[in-house]
A and B are shown apart, each in its own frame.
Chain A
Amino acid sequence: MPSPLLLERPGRWSQGAAAVLLLLVALPAAPLLWSALSSLGELGSSDSGVFVGRAFAVALLNSAVVALLVAALSLLLGLPAGVCLALYNFPGRRVLFALLVFPLLVPSFLWAIGWSSLSAHVGPAISGVSGCVIAFTSPAVALSLLASYAATQALTASQVDSARIAGGERTVIAQACRHAAIPTLLAASLAGVLTLQDPGPGQILGLKTAASEILTSFSALFDFALAGRQCAALTLLVLVITVPLACFSAPRIAHQILARQTGKPRPHTHRGVASLAALGIGLMVLISVFLPLLGLTLPTLRAPEFLRAWQRALERALEEVARTGTDTLVYAAGAAVISVTLSLLLVLSVGRDPRLRIAVVAACFILFSLPSALSALGILQIAAEAPAWADPLLRSPIAVCGALGLRFFPVATLLSLRAWGSTSSSWTMAAAVHGVSAGKYVWKVILPVLLPSLVVSALLVSLLATADVGTVLLLHPPGRSSLPLAIFTVMANARESLVATLCLLYAAIAVGLLIAAETVLRRKAT
């Protein structure tokens, strides 16, 4: 009967287990990268165009420019917004906060469709690099804002009060921004990196991007080696950005996600600063959320015979939701179960080992940054070469859930690591003294404590997995599409009003699920 102390002083097995789990996450990419590497010798040319295709080289450059601009914009907007939301109280603060974070919960191509539709109806053309930057900025700002908000919340009330006494509100804001700058920079960089793997906005707004080029050239040639080389090129670009960032920030994050008992700063009511913050954040919400949503309503509002058009579009949209709803939920739930289970195992392996914790945080950051097509195409390649008996695993929803679960496992791990930090080693000691087995201790004590965080992880992974179109596009079995993929498939050919109504329905469902989840969690907590 293993003792619970195993979790506190885990020994070498924990490093081994952590390594195995992290390798498991990276494993689906292996065959594709192997194809890429083994094909290099056959090419025999130093021209990069031969290795990845000239069109891809141009697309990679476009993607890099977009990623850089998006990261810069999200840092510029997200940092002060997060700091102000954490430090100041003003009417509608919670609503504005929720609205600014909302873009993270729906696929980025929905925002691109909104902007495209808005420009088609009322404004100048929004396309190309500028269009993609605009479309990607909404979710990117949300990510930076969350990081900035969380970092500011990590300040103690006494630190904020001291700054206020020393130099007034200007000093408070300056010091808070300084404190939150590194995590926000990290989040902004991650947001930039995530744009590199997203094919949606580029396809809608007429910009060749690396992610869409991988999908397109793979479809054109069904060449795993070329797709592998393209993914490898994109991965190299991503690693150049993320490895230094991960090395630099992992110790800090590993430290910051530890729970501590300090008085959090309470939002301050300062009429001047609060008004300015409310105005600025309100303007951000208007531009990043309401304008694209307005764009999604215009096709129906301005359609000939508005009411009939709206009714027809809604009927068709509801049919699509009914058709794809079950599979969307299966993929979301499957991904959540897989990622949360793996993250829990990893967290139990890591325990309280500070060095291992830093290594895992760095690995999670890097793994999350890798192109999603890498794993999806890897699984597709394995499925193509595997015998028929493997089909129920590799050509079924299990493959989709697995790929999505592994993709978002780093997110669940970071949240679980933080929750594990809130447990006390004295509980383990007490359990060991009373002769409780490790299994019973985990089941009866640790899991109930971690449960709220695991539920939040599961919800977040579900939403992120639902929004991922590329993986589902490559791996879904016949007739088992998800709702975002259905929108992605019809967006180029269907009537504008149908596409817009589908997007609005998706947004409404995401908001509804979030409100329901928050209500349930709040009730359970009380």
Chain B
Amino acid sequence: MRTRGNLIAGVPALLPALLACFLTGCSGSGRDGAVVVYTSVDDVFARPIARRFTEDTGIEVRLVPDTEETKSTGLLNRLIAEKNRPVADVFWSGDPVRAAVLKRKGILAPHHPQQAKDLPKHFSDPDGYWTGFSARARVLIYNRTLVPQAEEPKSVMDLLDSRFQGKACIANPLFGTTSMHAAALFAVLGEEKARAFFERFAANEGKVLSSNGEVRRRVAAGEFAVGITDTDDANVARLDGKPIGVVFPDVGGIGTLIIPNCVVMIAGGPNADAARHFIDYLLRPETEKALAECDAAQIPVRRGVPTPTSMIPLEKLDPMEVDYDALAPILEELSEGYLKKWVDRNR
């Protein structure tokens, strides 16, 4: 009983410690000099960059990644919902279309970083609302044990081929880079042909999976023969020793969709100075080099940043010609209209 009594007496001593923990937490969302960065770039790739920024500048980064299933769209909606009282200072987007949507909704503040001067102009907003850097590409992956190299798919249209009936997969086109890819197909092919692509994909018993990560995993496991994903996912599968082949699709045709990262400053964010510091840091050539050399294998878009030998440099790709800004309204319309219904029918 004595020991228990002592334990009871110790309970009040614990309370201040807990209170301290809570209060430390309360400072998490205020104007305290730290920078709150929402990012749809995969956590494993974004976090080392954020950590290096903190080491170099002493400014703490509070990173808010999203889960693979709700990629980009989740954070986009959160930023829209927080418009009147922003929590985030910076949005580091995995694609430029979300940034363009945010610009249309008046959520961004313009910023013209010095570091962006040698970045290609067509990957950035001319008004300085969003700036693009290191890129990924949308690629076809196929299971090498199920698909001989001679029969590898060459175009996204090959997913409609009868040889891949019931064996092709894509991620949910309401989220992430797949949604941007869908918008790009509508822009490049036109509405009729793009709709036909999605309808024929469903008719060919193609499957809609939850994320690009799941596409990678299930193609690698041999549950599907072919799928569409991003270069970073394909590279992780390659590094894991999975039997997958990677194809940059539609060379000589509509081209391969290139998706640059994009960084934006949130208007009215609580820590504007720290936000500018972070954006300037992110746009340095060193960041492009780091993102190219890590498992993400992102393609540097700036001339002069060396591309690792295992990667294809941007100049050797046949990029799909899209106006990223123009994709924003298409994406918004599709997400609430045709694609939403299509997903409801086919997931």
Contact = CB atoms under 8 A, between A and B. Distances in A.
Given A54-B344, A398-B25, A448-B4, 12 more contacts: A120-B217, A120-B221, A215-B69, A391-B29, A391-B30, A397-B28, A447-B8, A478-B36, A478-B87, A490-B43, A492-B69, A495-B240
B63 A222 contact: no
Contact of A493 (B42, B60, B344): B42
6 contacts: A116-B217, A120-B217, A220-B73, A327-B25, A334-B21, A493-B233
Interface in B73-122: 73-74, 77-78, 80-81, 85, 87-88
B68 A222 contact: no
A135 B344 CA distance: 26
A125 interface: yes
A395 B3 CA distance: 39
A242 interface: no
Interface string A483-495: 0001011111111
A206 B218 contact: yes
Contacts of A326: 21
B210 to A, nearest CB: 6
Contact of B81 (A208, A222, A489): A222
Interface in B330-347: 335, 343-345, 347
Nearest 5 A/B pairs, CB to CB? A479-B62, A492-B213, A397-B25, A219-B74, A492-B68
B321 to A, nearest CB: 28
A388 interface: yes
Nearest to B82: A384
A356 interface: no
Contacts of B66: 219, 489
Contacts of A491: 68, 213
A401 interface: yes
Contacts of A333: 18, 21
A479 B221 contact: no
Interface of B: 1, 3-5, 7-8, 18, 21-22, 25-26, 28-30, 34, 36, 42-45, 60-70, 73-74, 77-78, 80-81, 85, 87-88, 172, 174-175, 209-214, 217-218, 220-223, 232-233, 236, 239-241, 295, 335, 343-345, 347
Interface in A26-66: 49, 53-55, 58
A477 B29 contact: yes
Contacts of A494: 42-44, 236
A401 B233 CA distance: 35
A496 B213 CA distance: 11
Given A55-B344, A220-B73, A480-B25, A206 B44 contact: no
B1 A448 contact: yes
A222 B78 CA distance: 7
Chain A binding surface SS class: helix
Interface in A207-257: 208, 212, 215-216, 219-222
Nearest to B345: A54
Interface in A463-509: 473, 477-480, 486, 488-498
Interface of A: 49, 53-55, 58, 116, 119-120, 125, 127, 203, 206, 208, 212, 215-216, 219-222, 299, 302-304, 326-327, 330, 333-334, 337, 384, 388, 391-392, 395-398, 401, 443-444, 447-449, 451-452, 473, 477-480, 486, 488-498, 524
Contact of B28 (A220, A444, A479, A498): A479
Nearest to B211: A492
**Most chain-B Cβ atoms within 10 A of its Cβ — which of A53, A489, A491, A497?**
A489
Nearest to A391: B29
Contacts of A221: 77
A326 B17 CA distance: 12
A397 B214 contact: no
**Most chain-A Cβ atoms within 10 A of its Cβ — which of B67, B68, B88, B241?**
B67
B223 A125 contact: yes
Contact of A443 (B8, B29, B209, B295): B8
Given A54-B344, A221-B77, A493-B232, A395 B29 contact: yes
A488 B61 contact: no
A334 B240 contact: no
B180 to A, nearest CB: 15
A489 B65 contact: yes
B175 A220 contact: yes
Nearest to B20: A330
B87 A395 contact: yes
A302 B241 CA distance: 9
A212 B42 CA distance: 20
A384 B7 contact: no
A351 to B, nearest CB: 21
Contacts of A303: 240-241
Contact of B241 (A304, A488, A490): A304
A489 B4 contact: no
A524 B78 CA distance: 49
A488 B70 CA distance: 12
Contacts of B345: 54
A203 B218 CA distance: 13
**Most chain-B Cβ atoms within 10 A of its Cβ — which of A120, A299, A492?**
A492
Contact of A451 (B4, B45, B74): B4
Contact of A384 (B22, B81, B232): B81
B214 A219 contact: no
Contacts of A212: 69, 210
Contacts of B347: 55, 58, 208
Given A127-B223, A477-B28, A397 B240 contact: no
Nearest to A392: B26
Nearest to B81: A222
A495 B8 contact: no
A452 B210 CA distance: 45
Contact of A55 (B80, B222, B343): B343
A479 B29 CA distance: 9
B26 A119 contact: no
**Most chain-A Cβ atoms within 10 A of its Cβ — which of B64, B69, B74, B81?**
B69
Contacts of B335: 220
B88 to A, nearest CB: 7
Contacts of A220: 70, 73-74, 77, 174-175, 335
A408 B60 CA distance: 33
B4 A495 contact: no
Nearest to B17: A333
A496 B242 CA distance: 11
Contact of A206 (B29, B63, B210): B210
A104 B295 CA distance: 34
B10 to A, nearest CB: 11
Contacts of A497: 240
B324 to A, nearest CB: 21
A524 B3 contact: yes
A257 B213 CA distance: 47
A127 B207 CA distance: 14
